[in-house]
Amino acid sequence: MARADVRTFAFRYGSLRPLLSVLGMGPGLSRIEVGPDAVDVRMGWAFQATIPRPAIMAAVRRTGLVGGIGVHGWNGRWLVNGTTTGLVTLEIDPPARAHMIVPAHLRQLTMSLEDPDGFLAALGAVA
């Protein structure tokens, strides 16, 4: 996206940042962009999705335990994170198309962000 009306947010990384960087999922290849029409999410080669803004039904902070670091999911629910803190979950309807190793439909996306509150504000705190 690279336009003036697009805000870019960074994934939050923890102690596994060096490993994720070597695997091509580090901060140099990953970003979350909020534009007027869509949210574009990239974690290196491992995850790519463009979510139309009207399809985001809810966006909320998430606390509690999550099942891993990196890119994990099944049946439309995906976790894309570099740490277990700073988490935000998007509820998506209709499902958006995402690409991991294979294409998939995305109904829920949880991400770790450096600035989760700024991200929610940029979305207009859909909830």
The pLDDT tens digits for 70-118 are: 888 889 999 999 989 999 999 999 999 999 888 889 999 999 999 999 9
pTM, two decimal places? 0.89
Across 71-95, b (16+ Cβ under 10 Å) vs e yields bbbeeeebbbbbbbebbbbbebeee
